[in-house]
Structure 1
């Protein structure tokens, strides 16, 4: 059974963290969800990893999302999320190799952690999976619309986010979820969308505070971390995207794969932004392959003796 805990980070925000799997597993997988979502969107991947019995799983709700505490508006930034990830790793995965998995804002959080803590990142991270995310803000976001309409929608989204960010840490939109359902389905899903997947997404959206829905938007739109990715040490890595993704379309994943040495790129036909639910088996298979490669590398490292003094000098 999963273990649930609370972690209070440096600015006083309480994060809801869920862990499962053996505490002495050779690899820990850390799952980071996207904007306006929560850890439950990883349910298919968590179930598969838990059944394997060979990895430790850490999944948590970002500040202002799911069961975590509300954030101050000034702390609704990707850089703060990167520090939260560092705190989660130090508490819930303090030793051993880790594989970081990020969807949308979660992937951007991983990049912020890498930029702020490069030595720690290089020492701990042995695998990366980026799902429907970007390292270039809204550079490629067109919402699947012609450029003039996309520009109007971006203006409306930006203005609306500014209003929501100042509405506080409450969730009145829960009452309007049935009305919002068609818009969320259009924005986040591709050609096919089953009822349970949309239900899980709507529940997650309902748990995000208005401050979080609006407050993170400027930071997300402004991020540019391709240089950070280029500087990372090579590890097993992959980028997945749906060709119907209206928020982070294929060029976002393509640039990530180009920046990461040896990263594999997969474009899923007919899929939208919610690949963990729309293409759960494919995401799980890619993650399992990365975990297997990271575990094999860890075993090789443990068998390789440390260099002698003369070898270090040479």
Structure 2
């Protein structure tokens, strides 16, 4: 049974972190649920990443999702706080405030998956005591500085250098809007983060989220992603039920990165989706929802 659209049943609000950063938060589903599914989006995106997935979840699932600092309707990251460690601390604070009791299932897309890994590293007691399941969706536990965007040899190395240069430019950019034209952004997003035959509305949504992100914040987070190394930290999740999902045409977090996560989580399920790119929550929303729903069902049984 498909749930009602998320926008029609979500309670929207704000959460202020301990360093004073305002985050936009949405909580939906029954307040007395024994388990809450926490959805963490990726770099340059916002909670709308999960719209299709939430719409495919079984009715009655309680869902917490939010815009990371520097993204969507949340405030920009303060100087020095555009780090994955900080995102993990934000998540720990948000859960303690908005979902202080009950079991948790965590799902992270791209940088959101990295945030969950950092949470396990920095807040192991929270994970051990409350987390029953984890889903790593199109993400990585390290070596992101070696990504070649699916291009061979010299072309791949050049693309990686260009990406790092873009991050440096964004860090220095002080306006609220990204210096990108929507048409160029659409073409770039279609090639970079989608697989075969993406829906036009999904490309538009990804670009709209990108253009809502704070430039200097996402520049800082790109640097943090390149330094991300949490393979060892995954040990804290080895007794947690986990799924690892990846698109076989993902240019940003290739299948080899999904396999590396699965190797560190011997009891996890690895699911690969032919033809899909990096945006699995849009490209394979039903399949992602099935995997998340399965984790939630096991947690409540």
Q: Tell me the equivalent position of 2:47.
A: 39
Q: CA RMSD in A?
A: 1.3
Q: Tell me the equivalent position of 1:89.
A: 95
Larger CA deviation: 130-139 vs 104-113: 130-139
Q: Tell me the equivalent position of 1:122.
A: 128
Q: Tell me the equivalent position of 2:260.
A: 255
**Using the alignment, how far apart are the partners of 2:299 and 2:84 within structure 1?**
27
By how many angstroms is 1:115 displaced?
0.5
Q: Which TM-score applies when normalising by structure 1?
A: 0.90
8 Å Cα contact 1:236-1:294 kept in structure 2: no
Instruction: List per-residue Cα deviations over 1:41-86 (Å, max 9, x = no partner).
Output: 101221233x511x21100000010000011231000000000000
Larger of the two Rg values belongs to structure: 1
Larger CA deviation: 13-22 vs 280-289: 280-289
Aligned residues between the structures: 293
Q: Give the SS at the match of 2:80.
A: helix
By how many angstroms is 1:177 displaced?
1.4
**Using the alignment, how far apart are the partners of 2:225 and 2:118 within structure 1?**
11
Match for residue 23 of structure 2 among 15, 20, 25: 15
Structure 1, unmatched stretches of 5+, are: 297-314
**Using the alignment, how far apart are the partners of 1:140 and 1:170 within structure 2?**
30
Match for residue 179 of structure 2 among 165, 173, 191: 173
**Using the alignment, how far apart are the partners of 2:127 and 2:175 within structure 1?**
32
**Using the alignment, how far apart are the partners of 1:287 and 1:11 within structure 2?**
32
Structure 2, unmatched stretches of 5+, are: 1-8
8 Å Cα contact 2:238-2:267 kept in structure 1: no
By how many angstroms is 1:276 displaced?
0.6
Match for residue 269 of structure 1 among 274, 283, 291: 274
**Using the alignment, how far apart are the partners of 2:144 and 2:224 within structure 1?**
10
Q: Tell me the equivalent position of 2:6.
A: none
1:148-163 superposed matches below 5 A? 148-163=154-169
